[in-house]
Structure formats: structure tokens, C-alpha cells
Structure 1
Amino acid sequence: MVGTRRDRGSGAAVTAAPDARPRLVYVVPHLSENESEHFAHIPALLAALGSRVDLAAAVERGSPPTRLAGVRLLLRVPGRSRLGRVLGTALTIHRCARAGYRTYFLRYSTLFVTVLILTYPLYRHRILLWRSGLPDVREPERRKSLRHRLQDVLNRVTARSVHCLVTGPETMVPIMAGLWGVPRHRMRLLYNDVDAGRFAPLDAEARHTARKRFGWNGDEFVMLFVHRLSYRKGARLLAPLLAEVSRVVEAADPDVRVRLVVAGDGPERPRLEREASDPALGGRMQLLGAVPNHDLPELYAAADCVVMPSYEEGFPRVLLEAMACGTPVVTTDAGGSRDVVGAGYPYVARVGDLDGLVAHLRSLAVMPPEERCALGPRLRRRAQEKFSPQRAAEMIEAML
């Protein structure tokens, strides 16, 4: 039986779902129109998930829309100060409980999961917590601070206190279980997803127009880096990588000029700005700063390849976005990266192997354009078939 009601806490009109459908609160850490983080992928997942479960969404920060497809109950967590956010989170949990929701899925929401654990005796909710990646990877000159040590303790406590620790891809399951001391029977596998309708290749004319607008010449081999500008993501390798790839490629074919385009922001940006202005690089590095996620598909599709020289990864959406756009990738085997591109994909280097990355990039740069373009459809098919929002929604539903 289907009916309507009004949630007393939010005042939002709610359509009652069939009793057989499981209920879930998906906690969204941040959502806004110009989202530059990967949280911009969440609406597509919610739309797919909402066709399977009775779905509520609690948005912690940002300026979300008034409606999200697939979501029956949309709540904005109130509060600006730290204390205000704690109280606002508790109020949101109470509203969800009043509406009949007692199962939560969370990513990167330390405050929310902490309040859930503290309020468990009151509401008896079920907590599914996503974690992936290795937090101990940091700059060689940077010691672990007291704040980081306390964060590690909190992460370990929360990982052991929730009902299920969710991670992916396959490589990360035993890693995360060992890192946080979680029994394997409480681990669950979940894939990240990419909307292959939004992230898609460009036809030849549109690609030519986009490259011209970005200021890229037709004879340039354009390498694209999209990530947080941090040590963990290999930002310090970008300048030496560009210098060496330029040297070997332009020596092999003087008619080809190499360009590196960097999209992102983070603590390594001042270093990259200094390196980009170095005359030795000859203006080959182009820094774009943070780019809204909705503008990234065209950037991916216009580039010749995406390079990801990370020291640390979990389940990198950068690779999924590039693959969906049909753009070849060169990556390290950090975290679950090899799982994402597939066992037979050739352009994967060991973590920290600059020479290996250079060799892979040179291979792509000197490859005939039609041969390089032929790599794209295979990568896109893999993204569509294995990492779709519908596939991720099925996996979440199975956990319920």
C-alpha cells in the first residue's frame, strides 16, 4: 500500500513506500551545484538506489537542491559551530528515527558516525561505514602529529563499533580489515560508481573545439592530472614527470609538444606554481585550480591521456571518470587502482616508479592517434558494465 504523509521534523512531504522495501539513510558529506569533490557523483547513485529502497538523505554541508531524484526524505543537517553541528546531527538522527529510518550508510562523515554510535542505545540503528585508503601515507618530512594520532584512534574505534565496514575494490578488503582490526565477517565489498551518461567521449568536432578553447594546439600530446594537489596523490612527481616525458617524446618526434594540465587544489599548489613558472619547463604545465565536477567530463574527453602518479589510493574515481570518457590512463598500482583498470591493462607502474610512468606515457605519446583512440572504448565499456550507479545500488541493497 502506498500513501503520503508529512515528516514532522522537516515539514517535507513524503510519499510512503511499500512495506517490503528496506529503508536507508544515505549521509552526504557535502553537496552543492559547483561541487568539485567526488560527492558530485552521489545524486546519480541516489537516483538508482531510490528505485530499490525507501531512501532518505541527510546532507551535512553545502547547498543541496530542494529535491533529489530517488530520495523520499531529504534533510539538511543544521548547525554551523562544532557544538551546533553535534546537536544538529543528533536532531537529524531523531527525525530519521521518527520517520522510521534506522539504517545508515556513511562516507567520510566522522562526526555523524560518532553521534550515531553515541545515540545507539536510544535508537538501535544499524551503521554501514565506508572507508578506503591508507591514512598513514604522508610527506617524508612530516611527522605524525598528536591530532593525526587522535584521528587514528577515533577511526579505529568507529571502524570497530559499526555493524559493517564497507570498502572496495577487492584488493582493499583485506587491507582495510587489517588496518582497522575489523573481523572479515563484518567487512562488505562495494564498488564506486560513475555516471557514464555524464562522463562520455566527445565526437571529433566537439573534441577539436574543446581543445581549441582550452588553448591546446593540435600537435600537442596533452596529459591531464585531476586530483587533490597533495603528496599522497603524487603532486611532487608531476614536474619531473613532465620534464622527462617531454625530453624523451620530443627527442623521438620533434613535431610533438608535450603539455601537462593540472586540475585540482591542495597543499602542494604553491610548489606546483613555482615549478610551472620554471623556464626549464618551457610553459608546458598549465594549472587550472579546482574545477567543478560538472565541468570535468569535457576536460577528460579532450585530453590524450590521464596520469595518476599516486602514492596512496583506495578506490580512485579519477580513473572511473577518465575511463567513462574513453581516455587512456597511466596510473600507479596504489590501493585498488589495478582492480579498477583491469588485470590486463598495460599502463600501470609501481608506486613511486617515475621511470615506469615515463615509459608508459612515452608509449602512448608516440602511438598512432587511431591506435591510442582504440583504447578508449574498452575502458568505457568496463566503466559502464562494472562501475555503474545501478551496479553500486544493487550492492548496497544486498547489504540491507
Structure 2
Amino acid sequence: MGGTTRSRGSGRPTTTVPDPRPRLVYVVPHLSEDESEHFAHIPALLAALGTRVDIAAAVERGNPPACLAGVRLLLRVPGGSRIGRMLGTALTVHRLSRAGYRTYFLRYSTLFLIVLILTRPLYRHRILLWRSGLPGVRPPEEPRTLRMRAQEFVNLVTARLVHCLVTGPETMVPLMSGLWGVPKQRMRLLYNDVDAGRFAPLDDEARKAARTQLGWGADEFVALFVHRLSYRKGVRLLVPLLKAVASSEQVRDSGLRVRLMVAGDGPERARLEREAADAVRDGGMQVLGPVPNRDLPRLYAAADAVVMPSYEEGFPRVLLEAMASGTPVVTTDAGGSVDVVGAHYPYVAPVGDLDALAGHLLSLVAASPEERCELGLRLRKRAQSEFSPERVAAMLHALL
């Protein structure tokens, strides 16, 4: 913002040059050094966005660093209890308004969103809300509780009270418009991004060393699952998928051992660990639990394939991370997954189709390492060209 200052010594007023860049508050739900969620991608995007936009970042939880590249003002939202956090959020909004920031971009931050809606008559801010995915997908035995209904109502109301609803990829725009009752003229498209410098293939020697350190043999085909361990992400299909592949005639005749590594945590973890104990007879499964995002690049790059048997997705970062790492993926067509891997990618199964998932994974088992490498590099090039932080920063800048 422009203003008047006095030069040192002369006492004469000097007019500062206004910063022509738009101002934006990026609300970060959680940020820590050992971040295991996808919020770990946000710093790379903010660094790219900071070349175009005057950014303030409001971090709701975690232990963020003292500064972030590209961010001019970094605030940690105070408060421990729910009431304390609400008051702390209101104080943060006040401080940001005093600093001249009145446009907000949010993902998953329900409390912050409610405070923004309540304080909008006072501060006149603008709210851009990201949503993607179909939250209604749940296990068949799970009833629709009162809490779920209340959350759905809050989501429905808040989606209609923001200035625009942001989503991606392309497939999700009409879906989100219909789900939340938001007119198409108030919908905006924005991609997710991936840092292809951090998620990258390993050379042959480094990859061999990584697999040795991880305890993976040269005679093993290693498939990797990285996601929340929930019904929506297809966790209940993992053990049947491993058994179908490991017990196939193709694998038995080859003498190859199939191993499935599972990184993540969630409500299905205990069930999966029980089932995994039996799966050892047919193949190998190891549940690693939550893995910090900083440690995932080595897992992706060392694996032979990534499997994502989801029933529900929006704009899955798991696919972006695998693609940037140069690792082939087997996925379902849930949500915007096909938009991410590309319309002509061969290893996409219909949602819930175990036979198709097993067939695709067996095709990758049968492929030579050179063929898998070539496929992975094609995916990496797509990740670099379509989903880089610089491109996504340009898209977000255009929304402002």
C-alpha cells in the first residue's frame, strides 16, 4: 500500500511506491517439520506464489518455522481449546485486516471459515474456499450419525456463503457445483501442485541402496500404498488385491515375491493389520503407519508401483507424488484421478473393480524394469508440465 514517509536528514516527505501485487491470506490448517499430511506441499506453492502475490500465511496448528519463503507475514493462530481457538482466529483476522489483507484462501479450515463469515460485515473480506471430493462415501455398515448430518449442513451453508468455491481438476467442477448447490459462475478451477525437485526418481545405484536399506530384495516386486487408512480410500481392497496378485499363476511361475507396503494411518488401520497377518502367507504386507511427508520421496522412488484403489477422490496428491517420483501407478477412476494421470493412461480401473486392479498390477509385474521406468518418466513429465508449483501459483494469481 502506498503512503508518505520522510527521508532521513532532510525532513522532506517522500511518497513510497505502492506494491501493485494483490494481497492474499493463505490459511494453513497444519504445518510442522514432521508433517505427514499433504499440507507439507504448501511451502513450495507459497514460495512460487510469493513472486506474484503479497502473501500472509495463517497457520492454525503445528510448529511452523519462523519464516516461509515467499511469505511476508507469518502468523500462528493462538488458542488451545475450541473456544480459545475461535477467539485466537478472530484476533488473527483482526491483525490481518489491520495489515491490509482482506482476501483469504482456505482448505479444510472449518473453524477459520466460520469466523471469517461471522466477521465479514466488520472487515469486508473476500473468501475463496477450496473443496474437492465426495465426503458422503462411507462403509456400508456405518450409519449416518447426527454429527455427520450436522457437518454436512455446516458444509452446505458455508459453501454458499463464500465468494467463490474453488476446486479441481476439471471433472470435479460440475460435481462440486451440484453437491454444494453453488452456481457455476461462482465456481473456479485450481490444480493441486507437486514439487518435482523433492519428489524425483533415484538413479540406479541410489535406488538399489534405498531398497537394501528398506529391506526389499532384488527378487521382490514392491507395490506401495500411501493414503489415509479409511474405507473411502479402498483400504479394504488391499489384502484381497495382494492375495489375487501373489497367488496368480504368473507370479508363482516367475518365482517373484510381491510385497505391499502401506504408509498411512486412520480408522481402518487395526482391521488392516489383522488382515495383513494372514496375507503374509501369500505375499508380504507391511503397515508402516504415518510417514512424514519429508520421508515419502525415497519410498515412492524405490517402489516398483503405487496402488490407489480408492472409492472416493477429489484431486489426489498421492498420484502427483508418485508421478513426480517416476513410479507407475494403478488407480481407480474415482473423482478427478483420470484428469491427473491423463485420459490415455492404461492402468485405471473402475471404482471397486478388484479384478481390474489385479490385472493392471499384474501387467506392471510382467513389464521389464526398463518398461516401467519409461512409463514412470512419462508420468513425471506430465507432473512437471501440468502440476508444478509455478503453474498452480499462476492459476491462483489469476483467481485474484
Q: Secondary structure at the match of 2:221?
A: strand
Q: CA-to-partner distance for each residue in 1:205-233, whole Å, 9 max, x for gaps?
A: 00000001111100101000000000000
Residue 211 (structure 1) aligns with: 211
Separation (CA, whole Å) in 2 of partners of 1:321 and 1:391: 16
TM-score (norm 1): 0.95
| Amino acid aligned to 2:373 | C
Query: Residue 204 and residue 64 in structure 1: after superposition, are their counterparts in 2 closer, same or farther (change >3 A)?
Result: same
Q: Matches of residues 44-123 of structure 1 in structure 2 within 5 Å? A: 44-123=44-123
Residue 231 (structure 1) aligns with: 231
Q: CA-to-partner distance for each residue in 1:302-348, whole Å, 9 max, x for gaps?
A: 00000000000000000000000000000000000000000110000
Aligned-pair distance for 1:283?
5.8
Aligned-pair distance for 1:255?
1.9
Aligned-pair distance for 1:281?
3.3
| Amino acid aligned to 1:257 | R
- Is 2:186 the partner of 1:186? yes
- Is 2:144 the partner of 1:144? yes
Separation (CA, whole Å) in 2 of partners of 1:116 and 1:203: 48
Separation (CA, whole Å) in 2 of partners of 1:318 and 1:170: 18
Separation (CA, whole Å) in 2 of partners of 1:20 and 1:205: 49
- Is 2:22 the partner of 1:22? yes
RMSD, matched Cα: 1.6
Aligned-pair distance for 1:135?
0.6
| Amino acid aligned to 2:92 | T
Q: Percent identity?
A: 75
| Amino acid aligned to 1:365 | V
Q: Do the aligned partners of 1:57 and 1:71 also contact (CA within 8 Å) in 2?
A: yes
Structure 1 unaligned regions, length at least 5 = 6-15
Q: Do the aligned partners of 2:137 and 2:312 also contact (CA within 8 Å) in 1?
A: yes
| Amino acid aligned to 2:29 | P
Q: Secondary structure at the match of 1:24?
A: strand
Query: Residue 370 and residue 3 in structure 1: after superposition, are their counterparts in 2 closer, same or farther (change >3 A)?
Result: farther
Residue 167 (structure 2) aligns with: 167
Residue 304 (structure 1) aligns with: 304
Q: Secondary structure at the match of 1:277?
A: helix
Separation (CA, whole Å) in 2 of partners of 1:3 and 1:195: 38
Q: Secondary structure at the match of 2:89?
A: helix
Separation (CA, whole Å) in 1 of partners of 2:301 and 2:172: 29
Separation (CA, whole Å) in 2 of partners of 1:303 and 1:56: 38
Aligned residue pairs, count: 390
Residue 10 (structure 1) aligns with: none
Separation (CA, whole Å) in 1 of partners of 2:43 and 2:279: 43
Aligned-pair distance for 1:4?
12
Query: Residue 286 and residue 382 in structure 1: after superposition, are their counterparts in 2 closer, same or farther (change >3 A)?
Result: same
Separation (CA, whole Å) in 2 of partners of 1:174 and 1:334: 15
Q: Do the aligned partners of 1:249 and 1:256 also contact (CA within 8 Å) in 2?
A: no
Separation (CA, whole Å) in 1 of partners of 2:367 and 2:20: 55
Query: Residue 4 and residue 154 in structure 1: after superposition, are their counterparts in 2 closer, same or farther (change >3 A)?
Result: farther
Residue 13 (structure 1) aligns with: none
Range with greater deviation from structure 2 (266-275 or 192-201)? 266-275
Q: Secondary structure at the match of 1:137?
A: coil
| Amino acid aligned to 2:389 | P
Query: Residue 35 and residue 257 in structure 1: after superposition, are their counterparts in 2 closer, same or farther (change >3 A)?
Result: same
| Amino acid aligned to 2:120 | Y
Structure 2 unaligned regions, length at least 5 = 6-15
Q: Do the aligned partners of 1:249 and 1:366 also contact (CA within 8 Å) in 2?
A: no
Residue 9 (structure 2) aligns with: none
Query: Residue 362 and residue 94 in structure 1: after superposition, are their counterparts in 2 closer, same or farther (change >3 A)?
Result: same
Aligned-pair distance for 1:282?
4.5
Separation (CA, whole Å) in 2 of partners of 1:134 and 1:4: 51
Range with greater deviation from structure 2 (125-134 or 279-288)? 279-288
Q: Do the aligned partners of 1:332 and 1:348 also contact (CA within 8 Å) in 2?
A: yes
Residue 274 (structure 1) aligns with: 274
Separation (CA, whole Å) in 1 of partners of 2:116 and 2:298: 40
